[in-house]
Amino acid sequence: MISDSDGIVAFLQSRPDMLRILRAVETLGLPDCWVGAGFIRNAVWGALTGQPNASSWDDVDVVYFCRSDLSPSRDQALGDALQAVCPDVKWSVKNQARMHIGNDDQPYTDTEDALRHWPECCTAIAARCADRTIALLAPFGLDDLLSMVVRPTPSCASKMGVYRGRVDGKRWQRRWPMLRIDFAPP
């Protein structure tokens, strides 16, 4: 049973399919680079509910932070490089050093700061593999993820339309009926 960060790390280590993705991203050597969002969230929820194949690789979010090259074309080239290594994965590579612009936020200071501006606390989770060691990044902790609670991050409280749109569009409760959806930030 997954009940804490060590449990999540052990779970990821037990999944060759997820390790393959984490290791592919590691080979890019990008600064402050992580694989996050639904890649981790859905897999953990699947494990917690006995749906071991709850993860899909149709949207694997790779996030990194590099102020020296903010071009979207770099993200595309990195995605193409990952696609060549893992053609069964649909990659989304985004430099968080520029994502504040489209989100109408102040510039982010690093990837962790960017995760603080993601819509849901349970989605603000990422992992990376470095020298065969898995690390987690979870600026809001793991309680919501492990308790299967969806709630907006504090920064999303002023963007409730975005949050409601994601809750409606993702239809998480169809897949995981036991989820609790909250509309107040922590």
Q: Encode the chain (186 residues) as per-residue pLDDT tens digits.
A: 799 999 999 999 999 999 999 999 999 999 999 999 999 999 999 999 998 776 678 899 999 999 999 999 999 999 999 999 999 999 999 999 999 998 889 999 999 999 999 999 999 999 999 988 999 999 999 999 999 999 999 999 999 999 999 999 999 999 999 999 999 988
| Nearest of 57, 54, 53, 55 to residue 83 by alpha carbon | 57
87: its two tokens: 């053609």
Q: What is the pLDDT at residue 56?
A: 75
Angle at 10 between CA 181 and CA 4, to 5 degrees: 45
Q: Dihedral of CA 101/102/108/110: which sign?
A: negative
Q: Which CATH architecture has domain 5-181?
A: 2-Layer Sandwich (3.30)
User: Which amino acid is present at 137?
Assistant: L
Q: Where are the domains of the chain?
A: 5-181
Neighbours of 109 (CB within 10 A): 12
- Phi, psi at 100, each rounded to 5°: -60, -25
Q: Give the up-direction half-sphere exposure of residue 153: CA atoms within 13 A in the CB hemisphere.
A: 22
The helix/strand/coil state of 177 is coil
181: its two tokens: 């959806």
> In this predicted model, what pLDDT tens digit does every residue of 126-144 receive, in sequence order?
999 998 899 999 999 999 9
Instruction: Give the span between the Cα atoms of 18 and 139, in whole angstroms.
Output: 22
Q: What is the pLDDT at residue 128?
A: 99
Orientation of helix 16-26 relative to helix 38-48, angle to 10°: 160
